[in-house]
Amino acid sequence: MQVPRSIRLALTGAALCAAQAAGAQQWPVKPVRMLVTFPPGGPSEIVTRMLNERLQGALKQPFVLENRVGATGNVGADAVAKAPPDGHLFGITTDTVFTVNPLVFGNMPFDPWSDLAPVTLLGSFSQMLVCNPSVPAKTLAELLQLARREKLTYASGGPGAPGHLAAELLLSSAGVTMLHVPYKGPAAATADVVGGQVHCGFLATPTVMPQVRAGKLSALAVSTAKRSPLAPDVPPAAEAGSPGFDAPFYLVLFTSARVPQAIVARMSAETAKALESPEVKDRAAAMDVVTVGGSPEDARKVLKQAAAKWAPVVQRIGLKLD
């Protein structure tokens, strides 16, 4: 007797799910590479090293960190997209690889929405608006008023960097302009704001905090709706002069979209457990990273919302990085 096609398909699907589940139980079978798309030494690397310690204990294989920088995350993400889909290579990057890079690079070597699979959000982080103490504005509201009367400049870690995006979103919502001065990284930008070559900067909070504490920079606001754990005395922009403003950025754990869903789900669950560790939470907070976690579906939803937020900003400023 011939088995109906609908039953055959159901049996095939069940067999495939069973095979994937068995594969996830056996995975990993060799060391897992964690490819960070930033230079060594930053918060993302430190968070990844803490995770690696816990993941290799839970999954009984070494987790090895590598740095693969270039093209604002595209170089590392492309390596992950094209890797063998066996679940032994994951990437750590910022949400901008998914949300902004497709808008500003005309020749992306991969499609982040079809070639990559978000696993979870490792954490969120802020940018801090700081000014040279010579600027006669000690609050965000005062700075926006000053920008309406005078030509001011602001520094960022580079075109399309989180601080550039946050600043342009803030300025457009307030209806004011400031001249953007891009640098190759937040450290160089911070140095020139301290030196007075640039009036202000929207920069990585851990980078500017030592100068704020030393009195060499004035901290006006952070980009997130909640206060930074690293700078609890600095108000969110929404409280300081830009109602409703909220511009968080995220560290994203991702892998190739061809990796079996069962492996992605297991990696997501094990990472979420690691992120719940009080030690991980505390050490991450000391670097301005608020741990998040969640499922792959949760991560994709947040990334889609962020993409919708940044698209009009990118279009307004005509940002292109080719």
167-221 tens-digit pLDDT: 999 999 999 999 999 998 899 999 999 999 999 999 999 999 999 999 999 999 9
Q: Is the pLDDT of residue 63 over 90?
A: yes
Q: Is the pLDDT of residue 17 over 50?
A: no
Q: 25-124+249-317 has which CATH code?
A: 3.40.190.150
Q: Is the pLDDT of residue 23 over 80?
A: no
The pLDDT of 83-106, averaged and rounded, is 96
Residue 229 CA from chain centroid, whole number: 17
Which of the four pLDDT bands, split at 50, 70 and 90, describes residue 43? confident
Q: What secondary structure, in 3-state letters, does the chain show?
A: CCCCHHHHHHHHHHHHHHHHHHHHHHCCCCCEEEEECCCCCCHHHHHHHHHHHHHHHHHCCCEEEEECCCHHHHHHHHHHHCCCCCCCEEEEEECHHHHCHHHHCCCCCCCHHHHEEEEEEEEEECEEEEECCCCCCCCHHHHHHHHHHCCCEEEECCCCCHHHHHHHHHHHHHCCCCEEEECCCHHHHHHHHHHCCCCEEEEEHHHHHHHHHCCCCEEEEECCCCCECCECCCCEHHHHCCCCCCCCEEEEEEEECCCCHHHHHHHHHHHHHHHCCHHHHHHHHCCCEEEEECCHHHHHHHHHHHHHHHHHHHHHHCCCCC
Q: Provide the pLDDT for residue 8.
A: 52
Q: Is the pLDDT of residue 233 over 50?
A: yes
pTM of the complete model: 0.89
> Within a 13 Å sphere around the CA of 26, how many CA atoms are in the beta-carbon half?
9
Query: What's the mean per-residue pLDDT of the chain?
Result: 92
Higher pLDDT, 10 or 132: 132
The pLDDT of 289-300, averaged and rounded, is 97
- Which of these, 219, 15, 38, lies nearest to 129 by C-alpha position? 219
Give yes or no on whether 25-124+249-317 and 127-240 have one common fold: yes
CA 214-131-286 angle, 5° bins: 50
Domain boundaries, given as residue ranges, for the chain? 25-124+249-317, 127-240
The pLDDT of 114-129, averaged and rounded, is 97
For residues 99 and 303, is the Cβ–Cβ distance under 8 A?
Answer: yes
Question: Rounded to 10 degrees, what is the CA torsion of 310, 316, 319, 320?
Answer: 100
The pLDDT of 312-321, averaged and rounded, is 92
- Give the architecture (CATH level 2) of 127-240: 3-Layer(aba) Sandwich (3.40)
- Range scoring the smallest mean pLDDT among 22-26, 139-143, 171-175, 274-278: 22-26
**Alpha carbon distance 91, 73 (integer Å):** 10
Residue 303 CA from chain centroid, whole number: 10
Q: Is the pLDDT of residue 13 over 50?
A: no
Handedness of CA 107, 110, 113, 116 (dihedral sign): negative
**Alpha carbon distance 39, 127 (integer Å):** 18
The pLDDT of 127-137, averaged and rounded, is 98
